[in-house]
Amino acid sequence: MLRKQAHVGAFQQQSQRSTPFSYSSTLSVLVSVIFLLGFIFPLTALLNSSSQLSVKRERWHTYTLPEAVRAVARNNTVILCAVSQPYLPFLINWLTSIAKHHRQHGVLVVAEDYATLYAVNEKWPGHAVLIPPAPALQQAHKFGSQGFFNFTSRRPRHLLQILELGYSVLYNDVDMVWLKDPFPYFKGKYDIYFTDDMTQVKSHDHSHKLPPPGKKGRTYICSCMLFIRPTNGGKLILKKWIEELKAQPWSPRAKANDQPAFNWALNKTSDMVKLYLLPQRAFPSGGLYFKNETWRRETQGKHAIIHNNYITGFEKKIKRFRDFDLWFVDDEEMDPTEALVKLRSSE
Ligand SMILES: *[C@@H]1O[C@H](CO)[C@@H](O)[C@H](O)[C@H]1NC(C)=O
Ligand SMILES: *[C@@H]1O[C@H](CO)[C@@H](O)[C@H](O)[C@H]1NC(C)=O
Ligand SMILES: *[C@@H]1O[C@H](CO)[C@@H](O)[C@H](O)[C@H]1NC(C)=O
Ligand SMILES: *[C@@H]1O[C@H](CO)[C@@H](O)[C@H](O)[C@H]1NC(C)=O
C-alpha cells in the first residue's frame, strides 16, 4: 500500500509540472498512462505482494530452533508450547493469560504444521518455529492414537535441544491459563519442576519430593507443565525420557501418550536429578480444580496455572473455560490470530 501511494504521489507531481506545455498531447499521454497504470498497477501490486509473501514464508520455512530461541528468550529462558492449527484458539487464550503477567515476549510456539507457522509469524514475527518433519496431521489429534503418541514424543527432544543451547525452558500445554506468574514458584536450584496430575487433595504443606508410585507402579506426574534448567540433571531426565519412549513404543492396547514414559524416567533418575514437585494449591490438575468446588473455594487466590484436562474434546474444553471465566478469546473475531497483533504491540 505504501509503495502504491508513493507512486501515485510522484505521478501527480509530474502531471502538474507538464501542464504548461502542450495541453492536448499531455492529456492524451495522461489518459494512456492512467489506462496503463490502472491495468498494470493491480497486477504488479498483486505479484509484488504474493512474491513478498513467499519471500517471508521462505524465511520462516528455514527458521531454526536455535535461531528462534535466541530471538525470543528473555533472561535466558524460553516459554514453550506446541500447537497445530485446530488449537490456535487455545494458543490465543493461553497467550492472553500470559500477557496479563507480562511474560508473552519469551514465548516460542513450536508449530506442528505450516499453516500455524505462517499464521503466527505473520502476526507476531519470530515467535513460531517448525521443527521438521511436520507430523502427519490428521492422525495427530485423537488422544490415545499412534499419531498422537508420535506427536507428543517429539516434545522431550525439543526440550533437550533447548537445554543444549544453554537456556532454561518452561513447557506448557496450551489448554492452560495463567492466573499468576509461575516463575516465583521455581525456587531453589532444582533441575526440574513439575506438577502432580492426581485429583486427590494434598495437605497445604505437602512434600516437594517425587510422590510414591500409584496403582500402575509409577507416579502420575504431568508432562504438561515442566520447568527445566540447562543443568546435567535437566538434560539427563530428558535423555531418559527419550529412551523410555523408545523402549515402550505405542501399541493399540496400551494407547499411551508420552506421560508414562516421563514418569518411568523420573522413577529411574530420581537419585541423580534434583526434582521438585510444585505446590498443588498453585498448580492443581483439571480433575481437582474443575471438579472439587469445596477445594477450589478453600484455595481461592492461591492458584497460579489452571490446566483444562480430565476432559476431552475442543468444544467441551472451551465450554468449561467459558463457564469458569477463563476464556479470553474474542469469539466475534473470525481470525483468532488478530489478537497476536495486540500482544506484539504491547511488547
Ligand atoms: C532472571 O533470572 C535470574 C536467575 O535465574 C532470576 O534470579 C531472576 O529472578 C530472573 N528475572 C526475571 C525477571 O524473571
Ligand atoms: C508413528 O511413528 C512410527 C515410528 O516412527 C511410524 O512408523 C508410524 O507410521 C507413525 N504413525 C503415525 C500415525 O504418525
Ligand atoms: C520406582 O518404581 C518402582 C516400581 O513401582 C518402585 O518400587 C520404586 O519405589 C520407585 N522408585 C521411586 C524413587 O519412586
Ligand atoms: C474436595 O475437597 C475437599 C476440601 O479440600 C476435600 O475435603 C474432599 O475430600 C475433596 N473431595 C474429593 C472427592 O476429593
| pLDDT tens sequence across 120-160 | 999 999 999 999 887 665 555 666 677 767 777 889 999 99
**Å from CA of 97 to ligand 2 middle:** 34
286-289 long-range Cβ contacts below 8 angstroms, 24+ apart: 286/310, 286/311, 287/197, 287/198, 287/199, 288/198, 288/199, 288/200, 288/201
Distance of CA 342 to the CA centre of its chain: 16
pTM over 0.95: no
The angle that helices 155-164 and 65-72 make with each other, rounded to 10 degrees, is: 60
The more confident residue out of 218 and 14 is: 218
Ligand at minimal distance from the CA of 280 is 4
**Å from CA of 276 to ligand 2 middle:** 33
**Residue 310: DSSP 8-state:** S
Residues 6+ apart with CB under 8 A from 269: 233, 236, 237, 240
Closest to 87 measured CA to CA, from 60, 116, 65: 116
Coil, helix or strand at residue 193 = strand
**Å from CA of 264 to ligand 3 middle:** 9
Name the residue with cell 514464508: 57
Cβ of 185 less than 6 Å from ligand 4: no
Give the integer Cα–Cα distance in Å for 259 and 149: 10
Cβ of 294 less than 6 Å from ligand 4: yes
Cβ of 296 less than 6 Å from ligand 4: no
Cβ of 165 less than 6 Å from ligand 4: no
∠161-165-166 over CA atoms, to 5°? 120
| pLDDT tens sequence across 267-276 | 999 999 999 9
Task: Name the E strands within the chain.
Answer: 77-83, 107-111, 128-129, 168-172, 176-178, 192-196, 221-228, 275-277, 305-307
Nearest CA to ligand 4 atom 11: 292
What's the pLDDT at 291? 98
**Å from CA of 202 to ligand 3 middle:** 20
Asked whether the predicted pLDDT for residue 34 surpasses 50, the reply is: yes
| pLDDT tens sequence across 205-242 | 999 999 999 998 999 999 999 999 999 999 999 999 99
Cβ of 136 less than 6 Å from ligand 2: yes
CB atoms within 10 A of CB 27: 13
Cβ of 251 less than 6 Å from ligand 2: no
Ligand at minimal distance from the CA of 290 is 4
Asked whether the predicted pLDDT for residue 42 surpasses 70, the reply is: no
Cβ of 202 less than 6 Å from ligand 4: no
Q: How would you write 221-279 as a 3-class SS string?
A: EEEEEEEECCCHHHHHHHHHHHHHHHHCCCCCCCCCCCHHHHHHHHHHHCCCCCEEECC
The angle that helices 23-61 and 2-18 make with each other, rounded to 10 degrees, is: 160
Tallying the residues shown for the chain, one arrives at: 347
Asked whether the predicted pLDDT for residue 282 surpasses 80, the reply is: yes
Q: pLDDT averaged over the chain?
A: 86
What's the pLDDT at 140? 56
What's the pLDDT at 187? 96
Taking 3-state DSSP, the helix, strand and coil percentages for the chain, each rounded to the nearest 5, stand at: 50, 10, 40
Cβ of 217 less than 6 Å from ligand 3: yes
Give the integer Cα–Cα distance in Å for 229 and 271: 17
Pocket test for ligand 4, best of 294, 299, 300, 302 (most atoms within 8 A of CB): 294
209-215 long-range Cβ contacts below 8 angstroms, 24+ apart: 209/275, 209/277, 210/266, 210/267, 210/270, 210/275, 210/277, 211/277, 213/267
What's the pLDDT at 35? 56
What's the pLDDT at 60? 95
Nearest CA to ligand 1 atom 3: 75
Cβ of 300 less than 6 Å from ligand 4: no
Give the three cell numbers for residue 296: 477450589
Q: Identify any residues that bridge with 81 across adjacent strands, giving them in sequence order.
A: 109
What's the pLDDT at 28? 62
The dotted CATH code for 65-345 is: 3.90.550.10
Pocket test for ligand 2, best of 146, 153, 154 (most atoms within 8 A of CB): 146
Residues 6+ apart with CB under 8 A from 13: none
Per the CB < 8 A criterion, the answer to whether 57 and 115 are in contact is no
Atom of ligand 4 nearest to the CA of 199: 14
Give the integer Cα–Cα distance in Å for 221 and 265: 11
Give the integer Cα–Cα distance in Å for 91 and 329: 10
The more confident residue out of 18 and 104 is: 104
**Å from CA of 270 to ligand 3 middle:** 9
Ligand at minimal distance from the CA of 289 is 4
Give the three cell numbers for residue 82: 506446541
pLDDT bucket at 50, cuts 50 / 70 / 90: low
Ligand at minimal distance from the CA of 281 is 4
Judging by DSSP bridges, how do beta strands 128-129 and 107-111 pair with one another?
parallel
**Å from CA of 93 to ligand 1 middle:** 25
Nearest CA to ligand 1 atom 6: 75
CB atoms within 10 A of CB 145: 17
Q: Buried (b) or exposed (e) across 104-126, using 16+ Cβ within 10 A? A: bbbbbbbbbbeebbbbbbbbbeb
pLDDT bucket at 178, cuts 50 / 70 / 90: very high
**Å from CA of 59 to ligand 3 middle:** 48
Intervals of CATH 3.90.550.10 along the chain:
65-345
